Each structure stands twice: as structure tokens, then as C-alpha cells.
Amino acid sequence: MSNGSLESWLYPSSTEQNHTKNLNLTQRLNIAIDVASALEYLHHHYDIPVAHCDLKPSNVLLDNNLYAHVGDFGLARFLFAATGNSNYAQSSSIGIRGTVGYVAPEYSMGGDISTQGDLYSYGILLLEMFTGKRPTNDMFTDNFNLHSYAKMVLPHRVMEIVDPQIIMEEEHGSSKTGQSSEGKVIEECLASIFQIGVSCSAEGPRELLIYFMLVYINVCLLYAYFSASAVSLSAVCNNSASATLTPSPI
């Protein structure tokens, strides 16, 4: 892909840092929607559902327009058996290595491969995108991980852990437009995103369905766009709940 991987944008190399390579809030939201759309397609629109099993920033590729595409299906599995709640599962995850920090904890114990494993990886990816912290960062030890790091600041202290690059980009944009009131809107939007990431990366059953996650992220994006018009989040939710989302190509 012409713009490389999401990882190269989140963590540019020493040579790349000399060039402008930052993702603003809206771009990150769009990438989050693209990846969620791809997962929703894999899980629900094939005759046989597919679990990716290795979702991480280096496997999210960005094209010329910064549309995100999920790649590297080397560990992907077809899910032939169905369990309750339309969650498709394969007999065992033994032999599925995944990537440390992103692989669902139940896989390390030989649990079933399922769409929920991808949901866990997506939650970690989402938290990483908006904190700028890898799940393998040295600050995370024992029971303190990226999930708990984000959970502890919800819902009112999210700005303490946001990737500084996002703040710099948004402050630069606000100074141009003079819209100082956008700060509160951005904080509320980020709180919603972190809540999705925390819900998806919880250990145990993950009840948040991909479809509703897509709608929720889209609501946050609309809220950011229309902040200047003082549209309430509840009003946007009511008007957007039935919106049709078109997945980007995988």
C-alpha cells in the first residue's frame, strides 16, 4: 500500500520523523471505522465466517487516501461451527500464536477460536491508536496493561493519556478556526472511543457487537464534525442510529 502500515504512522522511524507523518483525530477515527468494517465483513458476510487472529497496526495497511485495509491472513481461520449469539467458533486455538499484546487471553489457554478473539485485538488496537502506547510498553507489568491503563481514566480524565500528537494536531486546527469550544467536544469523543476499546479488550465475554461499535464510532465522528453547531450527542445518536455504513475493501 502506498502509505505503508498504520504502525509506521503511529511510530515513524528516525528517518521518517523528519517528514510530516501524523494522524489527526478524524483520520484515526476513519481508520478505526475502516478496520471495524473489515472485521464485520469477515465475521458476518462470508458464507463461512473468518477470524483474522492477528490484528495489529503492522497488519493495517493505508492506501493513497489513508483508507485502511486489513492484511496478512497467514493465521486466519474459517469458523465452521456456530455457538450461541451468532458467535462462530472453531474447536481450539492451540497452535494459534498471534502477537503478544494483541492476542486474546483465552487463546493462550487453548480456548476456542472465535470472532470475539478479533474483537479483543481490535479493542487493543483502538486503545493503542489513541494513546500512542504499544501494549508491550515497558510501563505495563503484571496486571497493569493497556486495558487497565485506559479504564482507570474513564470517563473524565481521558486527556491525561491521549497521544500528544492528537492534541497538537487539534490545537493547531482550533487556533486556525478560533473554535476553542472544540476542546470539550474532542474530550467527549475520545472518552467514547476509549470506552469502546476497554469494552472490546475486556477478558471474558465481549458483548459489544461489531455493528453497534461501527455506529457508535460513526456517531463520535459526526459529533466532532458538527461540534460548532452545538448539536447534542443524544440528538446525533437518534438521527444516526439507522445510518448505513459502507465497508472499505479489505
Phi, psi of 244, rounded to the nearest 5 degrees: -95, 125
Instruction: Pick the more confident residue, 83 or 14.
Output: 14
Per-residue pLDDT band at 42 (split at 50, 70, 90): very high
Per-residue pLDDT band at 176 (split at 50, 70, 90): very low
Choose the weakest-confidence range: 2-11, 53-62, 174-183, 199-208: 174-183
Asked if residue 236 lies in contact with residue 219, where contact means CB atoms within 8 angstroms, the answer is yes
Helix, strand, coil content of the chain in percent (nearest 5): 50, 5, 45
* pLDDT at residue 17 tops 60: no
pTM, two decimals, is 0.81
34 tagged catalytic = no
Cα-to-chain-centroid distance, residue 223: 18
Residue-level pLDDT at 93: 64
* pLDDT at residue 134 tops 90: yes
* Cell digits of residue 225: 464534525
* Mean pLDDT of the region 184-195: 85
The model's pLDDT over 100-132, given as tens digits with 9 standing for 90+, comes to: 999 999 888 888 888 889 999 999 999 999 999
Among the options 34, 54, 112, 118, which is catalytic?
54
Residue-level pLDDT at 232: 40
DSSP 3-state of 138: coil
Residue-level pLDDT at 168: 79
Positive or negative: CA dihedral 183, 189, 193, 198: positive
**Domains of the chain (ranges plus CATH)?**
6-240 (1.10.510.10)
Most confident of 11-15, 146-150, 233-237: 146-150
**Residue 39 neighbours by CB under 8 Å, 6+ apart:** 52, 55, 70, 115, 118, 119, 122, 210
Amino acid at 174: S
Choose the weakest-confidence range: 65-74, 88-97, 183-192: 88-97
Per-residue pLDDT band at 148 (split at 50, 70, 90): very high
Q: In whole numbers, what is the pLDDT of the chain averaged over residues?
A: 79
The model's pLDDT over 66-93, given as tens digits with 9 standing for 90+, comes to: 999 999 999 999 998 744 445 555 556 6
